[in-house]
Amino acid sequence: MTQTATMRARELPQTDPATARANLTAEFVALIDLVDGLAPDDWTRPTECTGWTVRHMVAHIAGSAECAVRKSTLLRVYASAGWNSRKAPDTFIDHMCAAQIAARADMTDREVAADLKRWARDAPARLAAAPGFIRRLRVPAASGAPKGATLSWFLDVINTRDVWMHRVDLARALGVARETTVAEPEAVRQVIRDLDTDWSGPPLALTLTGVGGGTWRIGAGDPVAHVTEDAVAFLRLLSGRSDECPLATDGDPSAADSLRAARVLF
């Protein structure tokens, strides 16, 4: 097995508010450019998120941006999702997304596009401006967040990650090339950081190729394998969307098996 000197992924710093604001702004600009180019028939195209069309996905992102700007909307969506600290994270998130989509059910497609622009304009700045005492609050374990995560993780990491991954979804649904932004390398790093934070599999070296790629150590101890994969394909695997990854492995094959079974919250 080829040995590669790397840093532990969990040692990467969490995205800071200023970087998060710039990255989310860039992601929204790219998303809006894509949405502005949608033809009428494009809105009903199915995506790889079960049961969601392109319209559902855009409506969800618009709703998420509104939640970032309007606290009253955030509280209403939380209430409609039936939040409690014991509810499974996927169930809660599904209910939140459903509420965001339902709130736009009576809008035309172009009104949904305009709604996205309305909230995306201010969302990055509002999230970055969240006060320190809010940022330091611990996230409930039932949320699916990595160990030790605070609300700063939701504010500075998850929001950009969500828009970025949904742009991947939309590009695949539409059969178009995806625009890359300055946010992509940081989005990749933060996913790998979260993976290593909760990792319980064998230690390994992970090399991701493409935009945002790099090499990191996952797990404590000397790597038993070196696994190589395309960055976007690997993040789609971790999100549970698809398993299209060969996970080329030099060394113990159990390392690839553990990666294939791993999940990170998106």
Instruction: Please write the tens of the pLDDT for every residue from 48-66.
Output: 999 999 999 999 999 999 9
Band of residue 174 on the pLDDT scale cut at 50, 70, 90: very high
Query: Which amino acid does the sequence have at 185?
Result: P
Residue 85's pLDDT is what?
A: 44
Average pLDDT of span 20-28: 98
Neighbours of 20 (CB within 10 A): 24
Beta bridge partners of 259: none
pTM for the model stands at: 0.93
Structure tokens that stand for 2 in this block? 């080829």
Task: Reply yes or no on whether the pLDDT at 87 is more than 80.
Answer: no
Please check whether the domain covering 17-182 is classified as CATH 1.20.120.450.
yes
Q: Which strand (E) or helix (H) includes residue 208? A: strand 204-209
Which parts of 142-183 fold into alpha helices (H)? Answer: 151-153, 159-174
Higher pLDDT, 83 or 67: 67
d(CA 198, CA 51) in angstroms, rounded, equals 30
Closest to 159 (Cα-Cα) out of 21, 10, 12, 14:
21
Q: Where are the domains of the chain?
A: 17-182, 185-261
Task: Reply yes or no on whether the pLDDT at 89 is more than 60.
Answer: no
Instruction: Please write the tens of the pLDDT for every residue from 182-226.
Output: 999 999 999 999 999 999 999 999 999 999 999 999 999 999 999
Average pLDDT of span 137-156: 90
**241 in helix, strand or coil?**
coil
Task: Reply yes or no on whether the pLDDT at 244 is more than 60.
Answer: yes
Our CA dihedral for 108, 43, 235, 157, rounded to 10 degrees, sits at: -20
Structure tokens that stand for 15 in this block? 């995205």
**Average pLDDT across the chain, whole number:** 93
What dotted CATH number matches 185-261?
Answer: 3.30.1050
Average pLDDT of span 22-51: 97
Are 90 and 239 within 8 A, CB to CB? Answer: no
